[in-house]
Structure 1
């Protein structure tokens, strides 16, 4: 049994007890969150929403607020003496799916 859910503008395939990293959610560690925008569910049969499946929700718990690996951005223009190096670490939220309800 799994579902495809939209979290913070991105779509994720989730199952019960799965841990995943999503774009930062402004929640405290240990908080419970419910995602109502479920696009597809599979529980023996496939249910596709138009655009979302009504009555189905995904419940999750926030495990931690972390930063992703560093991404190096390097820009250079040859023969001009121009070179810029920047780094960036995206803020992420680690969540654990506690259940899919409403079948």
Structure 2
């Protein structure tokens, strides 16, 4: 069974046992979050108004890969280089 869930305006297609990197959540490591699915997909049919919740467990908080932002104005001797690492939360889908 699969489900389409929405976390922080992003959608994920998940099934039990999946591990996801989602935007940082205000939860402690080891907490279990209940998320209402948007769509439930079974082998026989697809339900647009599913009942129940998807339970995910917070595994850790970490930072994503570094993104380098480079700005330059030609012929003006202007260069600016910045880096950014997005805060992420790693979760595991427990049950649906």
Which interval holds the TM-score relative to the shorter structure?
over 0.9
- Distance (Å, rounded) in 2 between the aligned partners of 1:95 and 1:21: 7
**Cα gap change, 1:47/1:56 in structure 2, threshold over 3 Å: closer, same or farther?**
farther
The aligned runs of 1:9-48 (5 Å cut-off) are 9-36=9-36, 38-48=37-47
Say if 2:38 and 2:50, in contact at 8 Å, map to a contact too.
Answer: no
- TM-score normalised by the chain length of structure 2: 0.94
Number of aligned pairs? 96
Structure 2 gaps of 5+ residues are none
Distance 1:86 1:21 in 2: 23
Alignment root-mean-square deviation, CA = 1.1
Aligned to 1:7: 7
The answer to whether the 8 A contact 1:40-1:46 is kept is: no
2:67 equivalent to 1:71: yes
SS at match of 2:29: coil
Unpaired stretches in structure 1, ≥5 consecutive residues? none
Q: Distance in 1 between matches of 2:50 and 2:42?
A: 15
Normalising by the residue count of structure 1, what TM-score does the alignment of the two structures yield? Answer: 0.88
